[in-house]
Amino acid sequence: MTVAVEKSKEMVLKAGSRMACAGLVTGTWGNISARVPGENLYVITPSGISCDRLSKSDLVIVESGGRVIEGERKPSTELKLHLAIYNAREDVTAIMHTHSTFASAMAVAGQTLPPILEDLAQLVGGKVPVTRYARAGTPNLAAAVLEVLGQSNAVLLANHGVVGMGRNLEEAFQVCMVVEKAAQVYAWASLLGKVNEIPKEEALLLRDLYITSYGQSKNSQPARS
| Total residues at interface with Zn ion (CB under 5 A) | 1
Please count the residues of the chain.
225
Min dist. Cβ of residue 213 to Zn ion (A) = 34
Of residues 94, 96, 116, the one with CA closest to residue 106: 116
- Distance between CA atoms of 54 and 50, rounded to whole angstroms? 7
- The residue among 125 and 161 lying less far from Zn ion, judged by its C-beta, is 161
Cβ nearer to Zn ion, comparing 161 with 222: 161
Contact assessment for residue 183 and residue 103, using Cβ atoms and an 8 Å cutoff: yes
d(CA 16, CA 39): 22
CB of 95 to Zn ion, least distance (A): 12
Contact indicator for 44, 84 with CB cutoff of 8 Å: no
Q: Tell me how far, at minimum, the Cβ of 99 lies from Zn ion, in Å.
A: 6
Kindly list the catalytic residues. 78
Site string for Zn ion, 134-173 (x = CB under 5 A): ---------------------------x------------
Tell me if 70 sits within 8 A of 1, measured CB to CB: yes
Judged by CB, which is closer to Zn ion: 81, or 203?
81
3-state secondary structure of 155: strand
* Helix (H) or strand (E) run with residue 126 in it: none
Q: Min. distance of Cβ 61 from Zn ion in angstroms? A: 21
Residue nearest Zn ion, Cβ-based: 161
Tell how far CA 202 is from the center of its chain. 23
The residue among 163 and 169 lying less far from Zn ion, judged by its C-beta, is 163
Contacting positions for Zn ion (CB under 5 A): 161
